Amino acid sequence: MSEQPRSDQDMAFARVLAEKYRGQFFDDDQAPRFGVSANHDASILLSSLELQVSRYIDSPPSFLPAYLRRLFEHEIALARRLFTVGHDVLVLRKAGNGFGLDVIVDVFNRRARRALSRWGQRDLDYRDDGPAVPPLPGPPLTREWIDDVARGPAPVRFASGKEGSTSFLTLFSDALRISATTASSAQPLQVYTANCNLKGWILEIWPQFNYSPMRFGTMMTWPVTDTLPTTGNYMFQGLKGASVQQDPTPHYLGPSRTQTLVKL
């Protein structure tokens, strides 16, 4: 399965929004301390983006239902806490989005730390159909861990605050546009099904704008079902013991596509 098609105009629109509102998202003179974000700032930024998207797709100015508004405000707040004056942000290369952008890494997310720490590792049974023991928790967040993972096999690197915030806002604006186009037909907590080419794996999923994996479903592959709060392009990864496998293809999930095939 692939991501939702977007036109050159759609991509240009997302880039324009990122450039226009980047200072509202991350300002060197008003940046928060690392790990701290203000929800009222997220609300103001989201309202600005929502207005621009509504004009672009010719929809009512406030198209987001309350539950989606809370979700997107939360995503902005989660991303903003990664930025602080004088420090670069960690980004994931080859992230699979159609913009060719490297994606910010939520280093506060223990699943992200676990996957990046074990990148390239393979258990002997990672191709077997049988279940594996649950993976261990991710390592604690320290400056040493960030430096070590940046030097390791995981496809990550450091990026400036400007580059990281531009990437986030471009991909977030695109996700907001996609959500807006299906807002009238989308259902809260729509159930989705993920099939997989391998059995016995735990699936994790993350949105296109932030490498912040969360568990998809409670069962091992396959199939696996779970709910998602909003329509959009998502990425999958699988875990089995110490093994971590990425599906490099983005998956569009929404009212018109409630099933997908994950290839690890």
Instruction: Give residue-wise pLDDT tens across range 53-97.
Output: 999 998 887 778 888 889 999 999 999 989 876 679 999 997 888
Residue 145 has pLDDT above 90, yes or no: yes
pLDDT, residue 192, reads 93
pLDDT one-digit tens code per residue, 7-45: 899 999 999 999 999 988 886 555 555 454 555 588 899
Rounded Cα gap, residues 132 and 123, in angstroms:
10
pLDDT one-digit tens code per residue, 220-260: 888 999 999 888 999 999 988 778 889 999 999 988 889 99
> Exposed (0-12), middle (13-18) or buried (19+): which is 61, by Cβ within 10 Å?
exposed
The token pair at 73 is 């405000």
Residue 137 has pLDDT above 70, yes or no: yes
The dihedral through the CA atoms of 168, 169, 172, 178 has a sign that is: negative
Contact yes or no for 239/216 (Cβ under 8 A): no
pLDDT, residue 129, reads 62
Amino acid letter for position 20: K
The average pLDDT across 90-114 equals: 93
